[in-house]
Structure 1
Amino acid sequence: MDEMLNTTPNFSPAEAKALLAQHFSLEGTLAPLDSERDQNFKVTADSATYVLKIINAAEPEIESDFQSVLLNHLGGIAGDLPVPHPHPTLFGQSFAEAKGASGLTHRLRVVSWLPGMPLARSRRSDAALHSLGRMLGRFDAALKGFMHPGALRDIDWDIRNAGRSADRLQHVADEGDRALLQRFLARFEVRVAPQLSMLRAGIIHNDANDWNVLVEEQDHDRIAGIIDFGDALYAPVIAEVAIAAAYAGLDHADPIGAAAAIARGFHTEYPLLEEEIDLLFDLIAMRLVASVTMSASRRAETEGNPYLGVSEKPAWALLRKLDAMNPRFATAILRSACGFEAVAGARAVAVWIQQNRKSLSPIFERPAAAYPADVVPYGNPAHPMTIASAGERPHEAQSIWEAHCGTAGVELGIGPWGEARTVYSGEMFVSHLIEATRRTRHLGLDLFMAAGTRLHAPLAATVVSIEIEKDPLGYGCLVALRHEPEHCPPFVTLWGHLAHEALGRLKPGDRLEAGALVGEIGTPEENGGWAPHLHLQISTDTSLAATEILGVGEEHYLDVWAELFPDAATFAGIAPEFYARTGRPHEEIVRLRRELLLPNLAISYDKPIKFVRGEGVWLIDDRGRAYLDCFNNVCHVGHAHPAVVEAMARQAAMLNTNTRYLHDNIVAYAERLTATMPRALTVAGFVNSGSEANSLALRLARTHTARENAIVLDWAYHGTTQELIDLSAYKFRRKGGQGQKPHVHVASIPDGYHAPPDWPAEEHGKRFAESVAELIDAMKARGDGPGFFMAESVPSVAGQVFLPKGYLKEVYRIVREAGGVTIADEVQVGFGRVGSYWWAFETQDVVPDIVTMGKPIGDGHPLAAVVTTREIAQSFNNGMEYFNTFGGNPVSCSVGLAVLDIIEAEDLRRNALTIGNYLLAEFRAMQERYEVIGDVRGLGLFLGIELVADRNTKAPATEIARAVSNGARRRGVLLGTEGPHDSVLKMRPPMIFSRRDADHLINVLDETFAAVLTGTD
Structure 2
Amino acid sequence: MNNAFDPSKLDGLPPATKGRIKRRSRALGPAYRLFYQQPVEVCRAQGVLLYDSDGNEYLDAYNNVVSVGHCHPKIIAAVHQQMQTLCTHTRYLQDGILDYAEDLLSTFGGKLSASGHAMFTCTGSEANDLALRIAMHHTGKRGIIITHEAYHGNSHLTASISPSLGDNSPLGTWVRQIPAPDAYRLPKEGLGQWMAGQVQKQIQDLERHGDGLAAFIVDSAFSSDGVYTHPTDLLAPVAEVVHAAGGLFIADEVQSGFGRLGDSLWGYQRHGVAPDIVTMGKPMGNGFPVAGIAILPEVVESFGRAMRYFNTFGGNSVAMAAAQATLNVIRDEGLLENAQSVGRFLKDGLLELAKSHASIGDVRGSGLYLGVEMVQDRSSKQSSPFAATYLVNALRERRVLISASGFDGNSLKIRPPLVFAKAHAERFLNELDGALNDLNKQQ
Q: Normalising by structure 1, what TM-score?
A: 0.41
In the alignment, the residues of structure 2 paired with residue 782 and residue 901 of structure 1 have an alpha-carbon distance, to the nearest angstrom, of 47
Residue 722 (structure 1) aligned with residue 156 (structure 2): yes
CA RMSD of aligned residues (A): 1.5
Give 2:136's aligned residue. Answer: 702
Residue 992 (structure 1) aligned to one of 404, 416, 419? 419
Residue 878 (structure 1) aligned with residue 312 (structure 2): no
> Aligned in 2, Cα 1:912/1:730: closer, same or farther, shift over 3 Å?
same
In the alignment, the residues of structure 2 paired with residue 881 and residue 651 of structure 1 have an alpha-carbon distance, to the nearest angstrom, of 27
Residue 658 (structure 1) aligned with residue 92 (structure 2): no
In the alignment, the residues of structure 2 paired with residue 737 and residue 618 of structure 1 have an alpha-carbon distance, to the nearest angstrom, of 34
Shift of 1:961: 1.0
Task: After TM superposition, list the pairs within 5 Å mapping 1:562-573 onto structure 2.
Answer: none
Residue 765 (structure 1) aligned with residue 196 (structure 2): no
In the alignment, the residues of structure 1 paired with residue 211 and residue 60 of structure 2 have an alpha-carbon distance, to the nearest angstrom, of 46
Shift of 1:679: 2.5
Secondary structure in 1 matching 2:45: strand
Give 1:688's aligned residue. Answer: 122
Secondary structure in 2 matching 1:878: helix
In the alignment, the residues of structure 1 paired with residue 25 and residue 211 of structure 2 have an alpha-carbon distance, to the nearest angstrom, of 47
Give 1:301's aligned residue. Answer: none
Shift of 1:897: 0.6
Give 1:827's aligned residue. Answer: 254
Residue 901 (structure 1) aligned with residue 332 (structure 2): no
Secondary structure in 1 matching 2:362: strand
Give 1:648's aligned residue. Answer: 79
Note the alpha carbon deviations across 1:877-924, whole angstroms, 9 max, x for none. Answer: 123211000111110000111001101110100000001111111111
Contact 1:637/1:899, CA 8 A, preserved across alignment? yes
Secondary structure in 1 matching 2:409: coil
Shift of 1:600: 2.4
In the alignment, the residues of structure 2 paired with residue 805 and residue 793 of structure 1 have an alpha-carbon distance, to the nearest angstrom, of 9
Shift of 1:782: 5.0
Shift of 1:783: 5.9
Task: After TM superposition, list the pairs within 5 Å mapping 1:326-337 onto structure 2.
Answer: none
Shift of 1:781: 4.2
In the alignment, the residues of structure 2 paired with residue 630 and residue 875 of structure 1 have an alpha-carbon distance, to the nearest angstrom, of 43
In the alignment, the residues of structure 1 paired with residue 280 and residue 111 of structure 2 have an alpha-carbon distance, to the nearest angstrom, of 17
Give 1:604's aligned residue. Answer: 35
Structure 2: 5+ residue stretches without partners:
1-14
Give 2:5's aligned residue. Answer: none
In the alignment, the residues of structure 1 paired with residue 205 and residue 22 of structure 2 have an alpha-carbon distance, to the nearest angstrom, of 51
Give 1:614's aligned residue. Answer: 45
Note the alpha carbon deviations across 1:176-204, whole angstroms, 9 max, x for none. Answer: xxxxxxxxxxxxxxxxxxxxxxxxxxxxx
Paired positions, count: 426
Contact 1:764/1:805, CA 8 A, preserved across alignment? no
Give 2:104's aligned residue. Answer: 673
Contact 1:835/1:912, CA 8 A, preserved across alignment? yes
Residue 736 (structure 1) aligned to one of 151, 168, 189? 168
Note the alpha carbon deviations across 1:595-615, whole angstroms, 9 max, x for none. Answer: 121302111111111100010
Letter of the 1:617 partner, please give it.
V
Letter of the 2:168 partner, please give it.
G
Contact 2:174/2:206, CA 8 A, preserved across alignment? no
Residue 813 (structure 1) aligned to one of 240, 244, 248? 240
Residue 589 (structure 1) aligned with residue 31 (structure 2): no
Give 2:12's aligned residue. Answer: none
In the alignment, the residues of structure 2 paired with residue 636 and residue 644 of structure 1 have an alpha-carbon distance, to the nearest angstrom, of 11
Secondary structure in 1 matching 2:189: helix
In the alignment, the residues of structure 1 paired with residue 302 and residue 238 of structure 2 have an alpha-carbon distance, to the nearest angstrom, of 23
Shift of 1:973: 0.6
Residue 383 (structure 2) aligned to one of 938, 956, 961? 956
Letter of the 1:846 partner, please give it.
V
Task: After TM superposition, list the pairs within 5 Å mapping 1:818-857 onto structure 2.
Answer: 818-857=245-284
Letter of the 2:139 partner, please give it.
T
Give 2:442's aligned residue. Answer: 1015
Task: After TM superposition, list the pairs within 5 Å mapping 1:739-754 onto structure 2.
Answer: 740-754=171-185
Give 2:403's aligned residue. Answer: 976
In the alignment, the residues of structure 2 paired with residue 697 and residue 803 of structure 1 have an alpha-carbon distance, to the nearest angstrom, of 26
In the alignment, the residues of structure 2 paired with residue 818 and residue 610 of structure 1 have an alpha-carbon distance, to the nearest angstrom, of 49
Note the alpha carbon deviations across 1:579-634, whole angstroms, 9 max, x for none. Answer: xxxxx943332111111213021111111111000100011111101111011111
Residue 943 (structure 1) aligned to one of 322, 345, 370? 370
Contact 1:932/1:951, CA 8 A, preserved across alignment? yes
Contact 1:751/1:803, CA 8 A, preserved across alignment? no
Contact 1:766/1:806, CA 8 A, preserved across alignment? no
In the alignment, the residues of structure 1 paired with residue 211 and residue 86 of structure 2 have an alpha-carbon distance, to the nearest angstrom, of 49
Structure 1: 5+ residue stretches without partners:
1-583
Contact 2:146/2:178, CA 8 A, preserved across alignment? yes
Shift of 1:1014: 1.9
In the alignment, the residues of structure 2 paired with residue 659 and residue 781 of structure 1 have an alpha-carbon distance, to the nearest angstrom, of 42
Shift of 1:720: 0.4
In the alignment, the residues of structure 2 paired with residue 617 and residue 782 of structure 1 have an alpha-carbon distance, to the nearest angstrom, of 49
Secondary structure in 1 matching 2:37: coil
In the alignment, the residues of structure 1 paired with residue 314 and residue 136 of structure 2 have an alpha-carbon distance, to the nearest angstrom, of 21
Contact 2:147/2:225, CA 8 A, preserved across alignment? no
Contact 1:627/1:972, CA 8 A, preserved across alignment? yes
In the alignment, the residues of structure 2 paired with residue 618 and residue 784 of structure 1 have an alpha-carbon distance, to the nearest angstrom, of 48
Task: After TM superposition, list the pairs within 5 Å mapping 1:13-412 onto structure 2.
Answer: none
Give 1:627's aligned residue. Answer: 58
In the alignment, the residues of structure 1 paired with residue 442 and residue 136 of structure 2 have an alpha-carbon distance, to the nearest angstrom, of 54
In the alignment, the residues of structure 1 paired with residue 73 and residue 209 of structure 2 have an alpha-carbon distance, to the nearest angstrom, of 56
In the alignment, the residues of structure 1 paired with residue 389 and residue 87 of structure 2 have an alpha-carbon distance, to the nearest angstrom, of 44
Secondary structure in 2 matching 1:680: helix
In the alignment, the residues of structure 2 paired with residue 811 and residue 878 of structure 1 have an alpha-carbon distance, to the nearest angstrom, of 30
Note the alpha carbon deviations across 1:755-785, whole angstroms, 9 max, x for none. Answer: 2xxxx42111211221101112233445653
Contact 1:750/1:804, CA 8 A, preserved across alignment? no
Secondary structure in 2 matching 1:644: helix
In the alignment, the residues of structure 2 paired with residue 803 and residue 822 of structure 1 have an alpha-carbon distance, to the nearest angstrom, of 19
In the alignment, the residues of structure 2 paired with residue 784 and residue 998 of structure 1 have an alpha-carbon distance, to the nearest angstrom, of 48
Shift of 1:702: 1.1
Secondary structure in 1 matching 2:312: coil
Letter of the 1:725 partner, please give it.
A
In the alignment, the residues of structure 2 paired with residue 850 and residue 661 of structure 1 have an alpha-carbon distance, to the nearest angstrom, of 26
In the alignment, the residues of structure 1 paired with residue 16 and residue 208 of structure 2 have an alpha-carbon distance, to the nearest angstrom, of 61
Note the alpha carbon deviations across 1:417-462, whole angstroms, 9 max, x for none. Answer: xxxxxxxxxxxxxxxxxxxxxxxxxxxxxxxxxxxxxxxxxxxxxx
In the alignment, the residues of structure 1 paired with residue 159 and residue 286 of structure 2 have an alpha-carbon distance, to the nearest angstrom, of 25
In the alignment, the residues of structure 2 paired with residue 1000 and residue 784 of structure 1 have an alpha-carbon distance, to the nearest angstrom, of 51
Letter of the 2:68 partner, please give it.
V
Shift of 1:803: 5.1
Note the alpha carbon deviations across 1:391-441, whole angstroms, 9 max, x for none. Answer: xxxxxxxxxxxxxxxxxxxxxxxxxxxxxxxxxxxxxxxxxxxxxxxxxxx
Note the alpha carbon deviations across 1:50-99, whole angstroms, 9 max, x for none. Answer: xxxxxxxxxxxxxxxxxxxxxxxxxxxxxxxxxxxxxxxxxxxxxxxxxx
Contact 2:262/2:336, CA 8 A, preserved across alignment? yes
Residue 801 (structure 1) aligned with residue 228 (structure 2): yes
Contact 1:805/1:844, CA 8 A, preserved across alignment? yes
Identity %: 38
Q: Normalising by structure 2, what TM-score?
A: 0.94
Contact 1:753/1:935, CA 8 A, preserved across alignment? yes
Secondary structure in 2 matching 1:752: coil
